[in-house]
Amino acid sequence: GLISTKLDSAGMRYSERGDDMTPWVLDCVNAVLDAPLSDGMSLRNVEKKNFVTEMEFFFHADNFDTKKIAGLLKEKVSLQDSSFKGFIRGFMDLVFKLNGKYYLLDWKSNRLGSKVSDYGSVSMEMEMKKHNYVLQYMLYLSALDRYLKLRDPDYSYENNFGGVYYIFLRGVTAANGYATGIFRDRPPKELLDEFNRITG
């Protein structure tokens, strides 16, 4: 099928032990597509026209001061003190629209342990801090918010932004009611406004 062909082309179909990874990947894909995200709805409910993958962003920061950012995001980040002025560029894994709201989603294949239970909220939060993923999605969110203000005349953050999802693929399963592997956040508008002010 399509999945085994894709795995073959990427040289990833077989594990180091020689196991065919196709069934595991298929189960993982289906679990992620079925996972309830918003109002009990899942990615299967999103129309194709409302998906944007690898959305690029590019904006100028007048004073990207990590000390001020760390003060704002507190225990959610682990940053060295530094500052710079220049352009910030990146790609958002997935932006989608569902029931009139926009969402950001990032895929993570990080290995947090060998069991699904290793992907609970505490473990995910530690991993988010270790890799500064909260800073990452604040940058995504800042860029997306600016973009939507220009492109959608009816858009407001309060009414039309639904949230951020970081999907730790190895931890998502229907077997525990999708209790693991899905990190969710919806930063308050005041936090986003202050982040935008700090980064300029």
**Residues labelled catalytic:** 106
What are the structure tokens assigned to 171, written together? 């931890």
Report angle CA 106, 103, 152 to the nearest 5 degrees.
130
Q: How many residues does this entry show for the chain?
A: 200
Q: Report the 10 Å Cβ neighbour count for 193.
A: 14
Neighbour-count burial of 126, counting CB atoms closer than 10 A to its CB (0-12 exposed, 13-18 middle, 19+ buried): exposed
Give the angle subtended at the CA of 109 by the CAs of 107 and 110, to the nearest 5°.
120
CB count, 10 Å around CB of 195? 20
- What's the order of all strands across the beta sheet hosting 182-185? 51-65, 83-98, 101-108, 161-168, 182-185
Which of 87, 90, 96, 83 lies closest to 42, judged by CA? 96
Residue 91 is inside which H or E element, if any? Answer: strand 83-98
Report phi then psi at 113, rounded to 5: 165, 180
